[in-house]
Amino acid sequence: MALVDRRRIPRPTLAHRDGQVAPPGRPEPGSARDRAGLGNLYLQDGVWEGKRLLPEGYAAFVSTLAPAWEADGRPVYGGFFWLNGDGEFPVPHEAYYMAGAGGQYTFVIPSHDLVVVRLGHYKGADPGERGL
């Protein structure tokens, strides 16, 4: 596992490498560095290099259990992010994450001031998930 200095991660963007902007509601950063940047944006409550890019409190919103999931007794989904409320992954329960196809994960772990990115391929999704 490689640790990346947060200062070296470029500002998050919704533009793909070819300059095309992702469709609304579906930002899909490609590289681990892109995903780490997006995770760090949430870790810093939507502020990047002193500039607010997300509304204040938006990170708290995405990491708070959604009422419908609370009513079902399933502490696993917030506002557009998955939550580790059931302890599925060996990270603190307050961690929240983005999950993508093929075992792609971006975990935001506020209590450790940490973002963890796991990239994968469909063929490696099951072993990769077990490895987390």
Q: What is the mean pLDDT of the chain?
A: 80
> What are the tens digits of pLDDT across the range 53-79?
999 999 999 999 999 988 888 899 999
Return d(Cα 130, Cα 125) in angstroms, integer: 9
Q: Residue 7's pLDDT band (boundaries 50, 70, 90)?
A: low
The answer to whether 37 touches 11, Cβ cutoff 8 Å, is yes
Could you give the residue ranges of the DSSP H alpha helices within the chain?
Answer: 32-43, 58-62, 67-71, 125-131
Global confidence as pTM: 0.75
* Residue 41 pLDDT greater than 90, yes or no: yes
Percent of the chain with pLDDT strictly greater than 70: 70
Domains detected in the chain: 19-131 (3.40.710.10)
pLDDT surpasses 50 at 128? yes
Contacts of residue 38, Cβ cutoff 8 Å, sequence gap at least 6: 12, 27, 29, 98, 106
